[in-house]
Every structure is written in C-alpha cells, then in structure tokens.
Homo-oligomer: A and B are copies of this chain.
Amino acid sequence: MSKIMPISGFPEWSPANRVVEQYFLDRIRRTFELHGFASLETRAVEPLDTLLSKGETSKEVYLLRRLQADADDPRGASDAQLGLHFDLTVPFARYVVENAGKLQFPFRRYQIQKVWRGERPQEGRYREFYQCDIDIVDRDTLPAHYEAEIPLVIGDVFAGLPLPKATIQVNNRKILEGFYRGLGIADPMETMRIVDKLDRIGPAGVLAELVAGGVTEAQAKACLALAEISTADGSFADEVAKLGVTDPLLEEGLAELLAVVETAAAHSPRLCRAELKIARGLDYYTGTVYETSLAGYERFGSVCSGGRYDNLASSGSDRFPGVGISIGLSRLLGVMFGQGALSASRGVPTCVLVALTADSDRPAAMRTAAALRARGIAVEISPSAAKFGKQIRYAERRGIPFVWFSGPEGESVKDIRSGDQVGADAAAWTPPAEDLNPTVSGPIG
C-alpha cells in the first residue's frame, strides 16, 4: 500500500472526535423528530442536469466515471452524466417531484448526509462534509407560518448542544428586491449578489462594485443604509420606513419578516434578529432567508443557513414551494475542534474491561460480559491474561473507567481513576450514570 496520506478537504476525525460528532448527529436528529420531521436519505448521485439546474455551484460538482466503463460496457458512458450531490436541497426537490404521487403534503422531512464539492484543494475548504437539513414543502401554496417555525426548530437544536449561544439572523429577499426596485435599480438580483459580499469586502467595496455596475452613488448608499439595519424586534420596519422607499414587494417582505421575528420573540426570546444585510448566495431563495452565528465564533460565518424557495421543485403545472434550513455540521465541528472547544470523556464506548487471571478464565469472563451487556453496559474483555498492572493500563490508555476482577474471594470492580474497588455482581452492578456512555463537553451557550 503506497502513498498513505491525508487527502486535503476530506476530514477524518479521531475516535474521540467521532464520539463528539455522533453525539451531535444523535441530538440533531432527535430534535428534528420531536418536531415531526420524517427521515429521508437520497442517493449520493444525481444526473448532472439536475445538479446544474439551479444556482451557481455547478463548477463544484464531482462527476463519476466507471473505471472499466469503456472496456466492458458501451452504456457505461451514461454514468459520466452522474455527479455527487453538493447539497441536500436539490436532491430533495428532485425526490419530491419524483414521488409526489406517494407523499403526503405538506411533507416534513429531515435529511442528514454527507455532500461533496469539488473545491480547489488550496482553499482549505471541505470537499466532503455532513449537512443536516429540514424542509417543509407543500403542493401549490405553502403557508407563511412555516417560515416562522423553522428557526424555532433550529433554536431547539442548538439549545440542546454544548455550544455557545446561537443567534439566527433573518431577512426576506422581497425586502431587498422591493427596496432596490423602489429605488429605481434595474437589476435587483445583481445588486443582491454584491450586497451579499458586505462581510467580505466591506461597505466601501460594496459601494464601489455597485457604482461600477451602473447604480448611482445615492442608490448605492441607500442599499448600504438598508443593509445596516439590525434589530432584535419588529422595529426594523420603522427604520426601513425612515429610508423613504416604497414598493409593494417591499411591504410584503416587511410583513413576512415581522411575522417571523415576532413569532420567534414570543416563543424563544433572543433567538432571532432581523438582519437586513443577509441575502444568501444561492439563486433559488424567494422570501425568508436565514443565517446563524455562534457567540464568539461570528468570524467563522454562518453555521446554519436556508430560506424559502417557491420554484425549486416543479413538474409541468405542479409546483412545490418549500422552506428549509441546513446545519453545516462538519464545518461547525471542524471550527470547534480547531479551537479545542469540544471534547469527549473517552474515545471508546467501553465502560468496563473484564480482566483475566488466566487465559482459561476467558469463558467465565465472556459470561460476565454478557450479563453486563444485557443491562446496557458496554464491555470488553482483556486481550490476554497479562499482569493486572498491564491490563489496567490497557483500560487507562483508552479511558475505560472500570476494570472487573474475578478471584477466589469473588468478583469485584475497580474504578481505576479513584482506585476504589468494591465487591460486585455482574447481574446487578450498575456504573454511575455519567460513566455509562461517553459524554461530550463544550462551551455551553
């Protein structure tokens, strides 16, 4: 086996960090289920034309080719048109259209899978990562109350994780588009794309790009004034009004954003902010958009983003408007691991190591292990009847908290951290709850 080395952009966690990841996956999934989202997994591949049908990520697609396609299968060439999915929204929209006749609408699903993007290696961005998505799609029309529900689900998710306080920043693209139109700007979509760069290139950079694109300086300054509005309550509407722009789409967007912010404030105070600079890069959003920042980690960008899309899933005259959001789990964990901010109490599930006095004890040790496992306690048996000191070090190196001994005087279990050893019966002994399974600790928000 030659050239054993990491591949840039394809992270592999250590067993201890994998414990943290699995803990996050379990908590996220459980919260999604408590809110009535059904699990879905779609295939990893989509036809290239599906992948290219929306948005600006086409250049990041990985295409597949069968190694032996040319040699043994003239039809293998068709595989060249399959690519790995780069997000879970486009495959979900395809799944909804394909299975519309079998699904119940509104359809609430969660989807937790890896996605792949053929980023340039030198950018240091992940090329394989987990996304955790929820979406609600309906047939023909989608009631606005779902746009207020999505951030509350995400608020529950983050409240259940050992992370700093999460803030969901909400905006509505109708506000941006309507405001730009009301200003007399000819290409509001292009303006949105430039304003979306605000955090990267700053106000002066945005101003310059807007003016270079044919927007007047007065219009550009008004766009920046709109982007500066940030409120924890419904007062953003007053601040927009002060800018003196009127437009029917703007009014519609303001009313929708007000409903989202006020619903959030009523059910989860301090969760959401109206943040009028949020635009989201993807083309397919048509209304509410979300980004999420963690206190103290704002510079790493949004860890959970999404929005409403009215035109992503359609088939002939059938339309399936939806709203959804995606937690970028691998990216979030990569940042937290990089800061040393999350850790697991141990990297193995094992709670008890059964020690061996002699190799001939192995059958008895297997019965002890089975009795403990039957009560939900994770157990390994010592690899060999080495000296007890060596067997204890085996447990220590792995973080296994307890070692089980059998001797002429009966059975006993030792907490190898404290050294306490007590008589014990495999049919009855139970470890302290905090030692039963690995635990995860981090900066609680």
Q: Would you call the interface of chain A mostly helix, strand, loop, or mixed?
A: mixed
The answer, yes or no, to whether A75 is at the interface (CB within 8 Å) is yes
The answer, yes or no, to whether A34 is at the interface (CB within 8 Å) is yes
Whether A62 contacts B65 by the Cβ 8 Å rule is yes
- Quote the shortest CB–CB distance from A291 to chain B (angstroms): 23
Q: Report chain B residues within 8 Å CB of A18.
A: 38-41
Whether A67 contacts B43 by the Cβ 8 Å rule is no
Q: What is the 8 Å Cβ interface bit string for chain A, positions 373-392, against chain B (1 contact, 0 not)?
A: 10011111001100000000
Q: Tell me, in angstroms, the Cα distance from A82 to B58 when the chains sit together.
A: 20
Q: Report chain B residues within 8 Å CB of A3.
A: 47, 49-50
The answer, yes or no, to whether A366 is at the interface (CB within 8 Å) is yes
The answer, yes or no, to whether A243 is at the interface (CB within 8 Å) is no
Whether B373 contacts A34 by the Cβ 8 Å rule is yes
Whether B348 contacts A36 by the Cβ 8 Å rule is yes
Q: Tell me, in angstroms, the Cα distance from A79 to B127 when the chains sit together.
A: 11
Whether A14 contacts B102 by the Cβ 8 Å rule is yes
Whether B73 contacts A67 by the Cβ 8 Å rule is no
Q: Tell me, in angstroms, the Cα distance from A93 to B14 when the chains sit together.
A: 15
Q: Report chain B residues within 8 Å CB of A211.
A: none
| Given A7-B82, A49-B2, A83-B67, CB of A104 within 8 Å of CB of B398 | yes
Query: Closest chain B residue to A136 by CB distance?
Result: B383
The answer, yes or no, to whether A197 is at the interface (CB within 8 Å) is no
Query: Closest chain B residue to A1 by CB distance?
Result: B53
Whether B67 contacts A1 by the Cβ 8 Å rule is no
Q: What is the 8 Å Cβ interface bit string for chain A, positions 339-355, against chain B (1 contact, 0 not)?
A: 00000000111100000
Q: Report chain B residues within 8 Å CB of A206.
A: none
Copies of this chain per assembly: 2
Query: Closest chain B residue to A67 by CB distance?
Result: B61
Among candidates B19, B73, B84, B103, residue contacting A39 with C-beta atoms closer than 8 Å:
B19
Q: Tell me, in angstroms, the Cα distance from A15 to B33 when the chains sit together.
A: 13
Among candidates B37, B94, B118, residue contacting A349 with C-beta atoms closer than 8 Å:
B37
The answer, yes or no, to whether A128 is at the interface (CB within 8 Å) is yes
Whether A36 contacts B379 by the Cβ 8 Å rule is yes
In the complex, which residues 18-41 of chain A have their Cβ closer than 8 Å to any Cβ of chain B? Answer: 18-19, 21-22, 33-41
The answer, yes or no, to whether A300 is at the interface (CB within 8 Å) is no
**A-B CB contact pairs (8 Å), 25 listed:** A1-B50, A1-B94, A1-B313, A10-B44, A11-B43, A15-B38, A15-B40, A18-B38, A18-B41, A19-B38, A19-B39, A21-B41, A34-B373, A34-B376, A34-B378, A43-B128, A44-B114, A60-B68, A63-B64, A64-B65, A69-B118, A75-B121, A79-B118, A143-B384, A263-B363
Question: Interface of A with B (CB < 8 Å)?
Answer: 1-7, 10-15, 18-19, 21-22, 33-45, 47-50, 53, 58-69, 72-73, 75-76, 79, 82-84, 93-95, 97-99, 102-104, 106, 108-109, 114, 116, 118, 120-121, 128, 138, 143, 145, 152, 156, 263, 266-267, 313-315, 347-350, 362-363, 366-367, 370, 373, 376-380, 383-384, 397-398
Known contacts A11-B43, A36-B349, A108-B348; 12 additional CB pairs below 8 A are A1-B50, A4-B315, A10-B43, A15-B40, A15-B109, A18-B39, A36-B348, A45-B128, A58-B67, A64-B65, A75-B121, A106-B383
Nearest 5 pairs between A and B by C-beta?
A36-B380, A66-B118, A33-B349, A10-B43, A36-B350
